[in-house]
Amino acid sequence: MFQKLPGLRQGTFTPVPHIIFGRRDVPQQPGIVVELAPNHGFLWQFGQQGQGLLFGAHVNKVNIDLSACNWVLIHVSEFGETSHARNPASVSLRDKYIHQPPLMHTRRHFLHSALGFAALPHFAWAAAPEGVSLGFSLYGMKTLTLSDALKTCAEIGYANVEMALNAGFPSEPKVFTAEARTEAKQQLAALKLDLPCLMVNLSLTADDKAHALNLQSIRDAAQVARDMNAAQPPIIETVCGGKPATWEQQKAGMVERLHGWAETAEKEKTTIAIKAHVGSAVNSPERLLWLLEQVKSPAIQVTYDYSHFELQGIDMEESMKLLLPRTKFIHVKDASGDAAKFQFLLPGEGKTDYVKYFTALKQHGYHGPVVVEVSGQIFSKPGYDPVAAAKKCHAVLAGALAKVG
């Protein structure tokens, strides 16, 4: 069950109730991944010398013996604030394996000696996932309650979800009460679902009044993000608005608006990942990168969605090469037609080769969620079944991902 990895030695830890660490670099070393009970996320990983330092540490009475282990990442959440034990890809580690450290003879011994907890039920060693994790956007589950949507996604096998904060959805900020947010947060932890992103629908071509409302939407989304996960808040993703034919006339104004988004995001300590759309002014990798270059803010990054480029005949490999270095989130769906007349489809219903797709993501070093987005063109049709759609998408994507290895 455990795979021996050479050159790893056990670190020394004193019991501590709550520790959260993270990493910004991307070491290419093996690690250890362990899952505990639903309300206890635990991630323990070892690396080789010179692979970088921990960042963002919140430490209470902890002693780590780095002479025994050159780098160590611990992630413990006693109350379920964080759920990345299910998705270690979110901390950007490659080539993860299960490994049993020396002297840890039993699970009970491991729990007592490493954590100091009295007894944690339902302990299980989990298979370590690859750098890509599959998710489903609840934009495609508008007719379900939030609780039912989360439960459905977990039962199907998704590792993460995206919440839609759009008008009319159960997580729209003005109707998403404090009590409902707490319940959703607890359910995410119990189901071991990550929440990497929140969907909003903003436009960089808005007039002054609408722009002010957009800035408030960013602030509201950032508050939802903090309420859902104060330690590692989900980012925000949105399209950019406008029309392809008006790009030249609108791009200067869009830069001005994007500066406003960036300033607000920086104040709120959040990230906005903007997406190119076949029907918007920002419809290509080049236009998207041009906007980012004008604003130069770490708070403005990229959501990658190949379906919009496929409709325009833009090469998959080329689009990934350009955008993945700035990509923080990925949407996935199929499409048919062309830029003038198109129909979005569920993954597997179009021409996209997902083995090729996931292979390219791996080659470009992407680590993070790949989340199904069901278009309104689909879910607005009579007879649309969100549960059946989610199952179908997962079967297609998980099957392709398994072939990549």
Beta carbons within 10 angstroms of residue 315's beta carbon? 11
Tell me which residue has tokens 């009295």.
Answer: 118
Give the least confident one: 3-17, 209-223, 256-270, 298-312: 3-17
Which residue(s) pair with 164 in the sheet?
Answer: 199
Q: What is the pLDDT of residues 117-150, one digit of tens each?
A: 222 222 222 223 358 999 999 999 999 999 999 9
pLDDT tens for each residue of 155-182: 999 999 999 999 999 999 999 999 999 9
The encoded tokens of residue 324 equal 């993945």
pLDDT (tens digit per residue) in 28-53: 333 333 222 222 233 333 333 333 32
Between 69 and 374, the more confident residue is 374
Which of 87-101, 156-170, 310-324, 343-357 comes out lowest in average pLDDT?
Answer: 87-101
DSSP state of 129: P
Burial group, residue 398, by CB count within 10 angstroms (0-12, 13-18, 19+):
middle
User: Is pLDDT above 90 for 389?
Assistant: yes
Between strands 235-238 and 194-199, the pairing is: parallel
**Residue 391: other Cβ atoms inside 10 A:** 16
Out of 81-95, 191-205, 376-390, which region has the weakest mean confidence (pLDDT)?
Answer: 81-95
Domains, the chain, in order of start with CATH, read: 1-129 (no CATH), 132-404 (3.20.20.150)
Average pLDDT over residues 57-74: 33
DSSP class per residue in 56-120: EEE-SS----TTT-SEEEEEEESSSS--TTS-GGGGT--S------TT--SHHHHHHHHT--S--
pLDDT-derived band at 405 (thresholds 50, 70, 90) equals confident
Average pLDDT, the chain: 76
